[in-house]
Structure 1
Amino acid sequence: MKVMIRKDAAGSLSAYVPKKDLEEPIVAMEKAQMWGGQVTLANGWRLELPDLAADTRLPVTVEARRLEDA
């Protein structure tokens, strides 16, 4: 699914899913950087993000995969 990742003025990361008209803060990251790993949104969704360069400029729209809850 298409997901736009952006950072607000306070430095908080959020994810916007246009198809669901959903915007949620990113509350956890699997590893130190989010690219190529998993992030957790405030609503409990877990997304697997593509492997991009650490210095990728935000906002950026990527193809992410929603992971099923365990």
Structure 2
Amino acid sequence: MRPGPTASRSAWRIAITALAAIRFAVIEGPEQGWTAPPVLVAITIAYALAAVAAWRSVWRTNPRRPAYLSS
């Protein structure tokens, strides 16, 4: 591991997966319908991973957002 203010690989995986899920939902929602199971699952995954990313950002020593944004 390299020392410094970089986020861990797992943090990046969480963020990228959340973005991919919400992108899928936004693209497929109008076509399949917003209540279609794949779209609802993608939205649920996106919200859950966004919550995990926010929780990790608050409780880590090296958050991915600057401290001045939280006040």
Query: Which bracket does the TM-score occupy, shorter chain normalised?
Result: under 0.3
When you count strand as a share of all residues, which structure comes out higher? 1
Q: TM-score, normalised by structure 1?
A: 0.18
Greater RCO, 1 or 2 (C-alpha within 8 Å, sep 6+) = 2
Bigger CA radius of gyration: 2
With the length of structure 2 as denominator, give the TM-score of the two structures. 0.18
